Amino acid sequence: MKVVILNNDFRVYWKGRLHYLRQYFAHQGVDFYAIELFGKGSPYAFDTVNDKEEWWKCLFPGHSATDLSKQIIKKEIHDALDYIQPDVVIGPSIVFYAGALGLSWAKRRKKKFVMFDDAKPTQVKRNIVIQTIKDVITAQVDGFWLPSPQYDTFYKKFNKKALLFYGFSCIDNSLFKPRQPKEYNTNALICVARLVPIKNLDNLLRAWQQVEHKGISYQLVIVGNGPEEAALKQLSADMGLKQVSFIDAVGNDELPACLGSADAFILPSLSETWGLVVNEAMAAALPVLLSKNINAAADLLKEGENGFSFDPYDIKQIEAAILKFIELDITAKKQMGDASLRIIDTMSYEKMGVQLLSALKQLQQTPFKKRGVVAGNIIGLWHGRYNTSGWDKL
């Protein structure tokens, strides 16, 4: 069996996943290839394009989507797929070029198409025309690769017969696990986030002001950069906060040590399609204090067992979650950290590989889904688009 995974770009978290899957499938009789479209224009522009693997190709390494016509993008994707001739194409949501054009190739060649997505449809605001197009096209996919079963209700409505499976929202847990037994005595709470409005860091600072007023000897460490940096530092100064530190974004190789320097992790986001930094924090044996609007919280946060949740719009709830953790004794904090490690082990590269292989075998046994006339016409006309301008806004 040949499998191709497509994406507009494979940066940051995807790199480790793809290398693992390539090695894993090599022992399972599956030829696995990766095709990313653009070398520029990614919201993760700080990361580099992969150009050293024969099985992993970037079609436009020197370009972003805005540099190219839709016709050129379509031709290059279809030519690349024609060359490999995969049995299954895996791609992102059909709102993106990689998803829309991967699906159109698969339908034309009578191959299977699997769509991966970590956003719940209710989290993404679209006008009615775009949403209708998306719904009609999405109904043509053969399977949905989702983070967890909490997404089932949202995706079953597209195609009740489509295969649903899970596990791609994972990281390399081993990179973050403490090499020595962790001590919960640093008196530091850490938040790792891009400094953008959707991360809700202004409300975190307002809650922290109340924590400081109670004479708590903890530090809040905010790691990251972004357009809100100056405003957040000014807000901290205006509120007279003495126990807040801002640290510039750190590289992936420095992040495990950075997380390991804290007793717990907090993320107050107004919305997160998943929130892989939560995986990283838990793999570093940290208890987690999470906004209820973070999708990862529904699966990874067990209230009172490995952390606490809160309404991100309610400053008093954020404060209360912080204080509940701080007031625990070291034994209880360690038990929470141990629980984080146990829970995050349910989302690993190994489990991702097993679940994906099982799904591919099931897809081999299912008949090809013919496209209807209306769907076929729409698929032929819709090329997708590449719009990440709102990725850091609500």
Name the pLDDT band for 376 (thresholds 50, 70, 90). Answer: confident
Domains belonging to the chain, first-starting first, are: 2-170+348-381 (3.40.50.2000), 173-344 (3.40.50.2000)
Segment 161-171 mean pLDDT? 95
Residue 80 exposed, middle or buried by CB count within 10 Å (0-12, 13-18, 19+): middle
Whole-number average pLDDT of the chain? 93
Give the pLDDT score at 370: 78
Pick the range with the lowest mean pLDDT from 4-8, 14-18, 118-122, 236-240.
Answer: 118-122
Query: What is the pTM assigned to this prediction?
Result: 0.92
Q: Is 145 helix (H, G, I), strand (E, B) or coil?
A: strand
Task: Tell which wins on pLDDT, 246 or 394.
Answer: 246
Asked if residues 156 and 164 have their Cβ atoms less than 8 Å apart, the reply is: yes
205-258 confidence digits (pLDDT tens)? 999 999 999 999 999 999 999 999 999 999 999 999 999 999 999 988 899 999
Question: Over 70: is that where the pLDDT of 51 sits?
Answer: no
Rounded Cα gap, residues 314 and 291, in angstroms: 10
Rounded Cα gap, residues 394 and 314, in angstroms: 17
Q: Say what percent of the chain tops pLDDT 70.
A: 96
Give the pLDDT score at 362: 96
Segment 276-292 mean pLDDT? 98
Beta strands in 61-183 (DSSP E): 88-91, 112-116, 143-146, 163-166
Q: Say what percent of the chain tops pLDDT 90.
A: 81
Rounded Cα gap, residues 39 and 221, in angstroms: 33
